[in-house]
Amino acid sequence: MPTLTPEQYLAIERSADIKSEYYEGQMFAMSGGSLPHSLIPAQLTAALVYALRGRGCRVVTSDLKVRVSAQGPYFYPDLTVYCGEPQLADDHKDILLNPRVLFEVLSPSSEAFDRGLKFEAYSGIESLQEYVPVSQSRPRMEVYTRQPEGKWLLSAYTGLEAECRFSSLDCSVRLAEIYDGIVFDD
């Protein structure tokens, strides 16, 4: 399979009807999501918008790409928080360069990639302070927080009574709000 340059990817992506991510010279079409995969980011957005009101941080949905470097990769996180002025790659205003927190709702088909190579790529973004994989099969959020020496510290929040803390945003969200209406398989 021939590899694409970032410029070729962006030209194709910006005129396409479906979203695709770009990793190591290849485009990967994004698949449709389940009901939980749709509800969780919507409810997380609502909770974060409320928690961050007046703090100079904004929550954006998966319609905005995040670029790791000029050579890629380019991803569509399920949710992104940036603080201060957004740094955008170009006049198209569709690529954010300065995310502070990135959220990925885990799917059976993408969980290994989201936890492995995608997290490794995201960790190269200088502005990124926290990475949050969110389970859709049970009430659980994990927050990986960048430490001063460059290591990542994991804090896991499990159960509907838990409150997930984001130290880089100085706020928390209740898992009961995030998972409201989600039916879990036993």
Residue 163 lies in a domain: yes
Residue 20 lies in a domain: no
Count: domains in the chain:
1
pLDDT for res 147: 97
Residue 46 lies in a domain: yes
pLDDT for res 109: 86
Q: Is the pLDDT of residue 17 over 70?
A: yes
Give, as one character, the DSSP assignment of residue 32. Answer: P
Q: Is the pLDDT of residue 73 over 70?
A: yes
Average pLDDT over residues 26-54: 91
pLDDT band at 103 (very low <50, low <70, confident <90, very high): very high
Residue 90 lies in a domain: yes
Residue 80 lies in a domain: yes
Residue 17 lies in a domain: no
Residue 150 lies in a domain: yes
Give the CATH number for residue 47: 3.90.1570.10
pLDDT band at 159 (very low <50, low <70, confident <90, very high): very high
Q: pLDDT tens-digit profile of 128-141?
A: 999 999 999 999 99
Average pLDDT over residues 83-108: 96
pLDDT for res 186: 67
Residue 40 lies in a domain: yes
Range of the domain at 121: 33-178
pLDDT band at 1 (very low <50, low <70, confident <90, very high): low
Picking from 102, 145, 147, the residue whose alpha carbon sits closest to that of residue 122 is 102
- Report the distance separating Cα 20 and Cα 12, nearest Å: 9
User: ∠166-167-171 over CA atoms, to 5°?
Assistant: 55
83-111 burial: b if 16+ Cβ within 10 Å, else e: beeeeebeeeeebbbbbbbbbbbbbeebb
